[in-house]
Amino acid sequence: MTDRTTMMTMTLVLSLFAVPVVDGHGRLIDPPARGSAWRFGFNTPINYNDNEMSCGGLNHQWYILQGKCGVCGDRWDANPRPHEVGGTYATGTIVRTYTQGQTIQVTVQITSNHLGWFEFRICPVSDPTVEVTLECLDTHLLPLASNGQTRYKIDRDSRNYVVDLVLPSDLVCDHCVFQWKYHTGNSWGRDPDGVECVGCGAVQEEFYGCADIAVLANDSSPPPSAAASTDAPQIKLVTTAAPSTSMAGVVTEGQGQQCRAVGVWRSVAGMNSWCATNCGAGYCPSSHCRCG
């Protein structure tokens, strides 16, 4: 082999190793996840990397920790985990209120697509000082409204995915954790039956997001005109600077005051608690709450 051929071969090999690995990215935006709520006017800590909740990355999750991950997408070995109870972003702020058995619209924003599927779970909070467990979340794996299945396969586009889900008919909570799971499908793997392919097997990059919500009893649901909005939020696909957190019609003077539900919301079970929690965190819509 000539020196020139050897040099060309070495250059080719080095160039192959220099090709960057592109990771998938995504975030739960409706209901907004704990690290994303600030984008929608909530007075919660800012996480500019809220689309990177991938358990520390594929290698860290699967080859170092044998698949372990925090329930909200933090590295399993982080202490504390930033998006779980005791961490920076786990403020307990209720970002959405639904009713039991309701069909809800959930929006996930994928900013870098690597195929795969979504799953959604919910767990009632029994102790606000302790994060919910995967075992509890697994008891309420939510079905798709369209076909009753529990996995939503995505296409190849990087965009907002709107998914209709059915909440459990027997679940009511002043505070529940809603979990989104994104199992990507762009790495070579092997299924339990021995089939190998791109996207096969458990060892794929995964993303998670947790949102704090309330689920009211059917007999306390407000009239349609007063129902909490479930419209898919619109945010820019890529954000490089802190967006404005101003929000028309929202009172932020609730901190340190007694806050209660007003109007049609006074008869809704759990709304006084909702107002006390959210007004104290700086999100106090005058249509729902009054402080003083």
DSSP string, 150-167: S-EE--S--SEEEEEEE-
> Which residues are within 8 A (CB) of 219 and not within 5 positions of it... i.e. 6 or more apart?
none
What are the pLDDT digits (tens) for 118-172? 999 999 999 999 999 999 999 999 999 999 999 999 999 999 999 999 999 999 9
Residue among 200, 104, 116, 189 nearest 151 (CA): 116
Structure confidence by residue, pLDDT tens digits, 181-196? 999 998 888 888 999 9
Q: What is the pTM of this model?
A: 0.70
Give the span between the Cα atoms of 287 and 201, in whole angstroms. Answer: 49
The CA radius of gyration of the chain, in Å to the nearest whole number, is: 22
| Segment 55-66 mean pLDDT | 94
Which segments of 192-231 are extended strands (E)?
A: 196-198, 206-216
CB 287, CB 97: distance < 8 Å? no
CATH fold label, 24-221? Coagulation Factor XIII; Chain A, domain 1 (2.70.50)
What is the C-alpha separation between 208 and 196, in angstroms, rounded? 25
214 to 2, 178, 189: CA distances (angstroms): 71, 9, 38
Q: What residues does each domain of the chain span?
A: 24-221, 248-292
